[in-house]
A = this chain, B = another copy of it.
Amino acid sequence: MFELLKTDTTTKARLGRLTTAHGVVETPVFMPVGTQASVKALDPRELREMGTQIILGNTYHLNLRPGLDIIRAAGGLHRFMNWDKPILTDSGGFQVFSLAKIRKVKAHGVEFRSHLDGSALFLGPKESMEIQRVLGSDIAMVFDECPPHDAPAKEQRLAVERTIRWARECREQPRAEGQKVFGIVQGGVNPALREECAKALVAMEFDGYAIGGVSVGEPEPEMMKAVELAEPHLPAHKSRYAMGLGTPAQMVELIARGVDMFDCVLPTRVARNGTAYTKRGTFSIKGGAVKADFGPIEAGCDCFACQHFTRAYIRHLLNVNEILGLRLVSIHNSHLYLRVMNEVRAALAAGTFGEYYREFIAGYTPTQKVLSQRKKHTAD
């Protein structure tokens, strides 16, 4: 399923190829997030045009709305949303632990109340895998427990134990045809827990491995540490996926630490607030500074927005609440994330990733305001 094409000689970065039921994914890859069967503000044509290889869908949200009966009747998530390339679905575990206000963890899953209408629901390994089977995603994720980054040691241990037990249950459930399943490594920043969790999951021989418990409000050094603790215990011939991350610079940092796959709501979320990404960081496209700036969002960018519209026009649209404004910034930001991945893969193929990595990080200025929006991940 995963072919490791090349490993960087100066870092742990990997060039790979992931084969799924709906096509091949070149890695490292960024997966735009289509929480509710739509990557916010974008249509599938725009996603294809910007080079999207695979998108993410959310089990928790899709199970609530439109509900499984509708997606089953549509013939699966691909057909429901008219997306014929690969889809990865998360398990809903993250949302149950972050969105549901009232919940009770049981042996075989979690009792909780819907964040929409308070109705009583239950989600566990069996339920999650059944939903993902009906969704028909190319890659399903196991149902895990994702504790807060500052959870006490005992809670982290319990979460790892449950995550391992639930992963085993997920492993045994029926799947959609050709559906692959990834395990999720938990364990916070505790080296022993990360190792224990990774080894137990690797023994179960999943099709790939995610590093969970990141992008849950922790400081960036902890995020890096969590990945560094898990990665050495993951097999080289399987994909590694860091869930819910991150900024372009964080992705490049994690690629250098051996990660292949990313998903993040930031590019479309900050777009709706008028924040544009560039390879050097972010800037506000609502401010007066660009009101008569007739250049593109980012010089040299070949996205649909930058090829056809100016900063001044997009600023105007955003300031008068025209939907086209946030569409255009969403296109540019998502395209930028994908473009960075294209460049990373080209550098890996050319054997120049070490150089690309240093230059990228040196040229990128992280914005605190943008980073703080990662914490809202749960709502999307």
Interface residues in chain A, defined as those with a beta carbon under 8 Å from any beta carbon in chain B: 36-38, 40-44, 61, 65-66, 69-70, 73-74, 80-82, 291-292, 294, 308-310, 312-313, 315-317, 319-320, 322-328
How far, in angstroms, from A80 to B309 measured CA to CA in the complex?
Answer: 8
**Residues in B whose Cβ lies below 8 Å from that of A291:** 66, 70
A292 vs B44: C-alpha distance in the bound complex, in angstroms? 21
Q: State how many angstroms separate the Cβ of A83 from the closest Cβ of chain B.
A: 10
Q: Judging by beta carbons under 8 Å apart, are A320 and B65 in contact?
A: yes
CA distance A306 to B12 in the complex (A): 47
CA distance A111 to B85 in the complex (A): 58
How many copies are assembled? 2
Instruction: Give A39's nearest chain B residue, CB to CB.
Output: B324
In the bound complex, CA of A320 to CA of B82 (Å): 17
Contact A41 B294 (CB under 8 A): no
A261 to chain B, nearest CB (A): 24
Determine whether the beta carbon of A308 is less than 8 Å from that of B66.
no
Q: Is the CB of A40 within 8 A of B313?
A: no
> Which chain B positions have C-beta within 8 A of A80?
310, 312-313, 316
> Which of B37, B313, B320, B323 is close to A313, meaning CB atoms less than 8 Å apart?
B37
Question: Are the C-beta atoms of A74 and B313 separated by less than 8 Å?
Answer: yes
Cβ–Cβ < 8 Å partners of A66 in chain B? 291, 312, 315-316, 319
Q: Are A316's CB and B37's CB within 8 A?
A: yes
- A308 / chain B contacts, CB cutoff of 8 Å: 44, 82
- Distance from A12 Cβ to chain B, minimum over Cβ atoms (Å): 38
B74 touches A320 (CB 8 A): no
Further pairs besides A66-B312, A323-B327: 12, Cβ < 8 Å:
A36-B317, A36-B322, A37-B316, A40-B322, A65-B320, A66-B316, A70-B292, A74-B294, A80-B312, A80-B316, A81-B313, A82-B308
Cβ of A37: which chain B residues have Cβ within 8 Å of it?
Answer: 313, 316-317, 322
Residues of B contacting A36 in the complex (Cβ-Cβ under 8 angstroms): 316-317, 320, 322
Contact A41 B312 (CB under 8 A): no
25 pairs, CB–CB < 8 Å, chain A vs chain B? A36-B316, A37-B316, A37-B322, A38-B317, A38-B322, A38-B323, A41-B323, A42-B324, A43-B328, A44-B308, A65-B316, A65-B320, A66-B291, A66-B312, A66-B315, A66-B319, A70-B292, A74-B313, A80-B313, A80-B316, A82-B308, A82-B309, A323-B323, A323-B327, A327-B327
Cα of A38 to Cα of B312 in the assembled complex, Å = 14
On chain B, the residues within 8 Å of A312 by CB distance are 66, 70, 73-74, 80
**B324 & A323 in contact (Cβ 8 Å cutoff):** no
B residues in contact with A310, CB < 8 Å: 74, 80
Nearest Cβ on chain B to A66's Cβ, whole angstroms? 4
Chain B contacts for A40, CB-based, 8 A: 322-323
In whole angstroms, how far apart are the Cα atoms of A322 and B41 in the complex? Answer: 7
Closest residue to A323 on the B side, CB-wise? B41
In the complex, the answer to whether A73 meets B294 with C-beta atoms within 8 Å is: yes
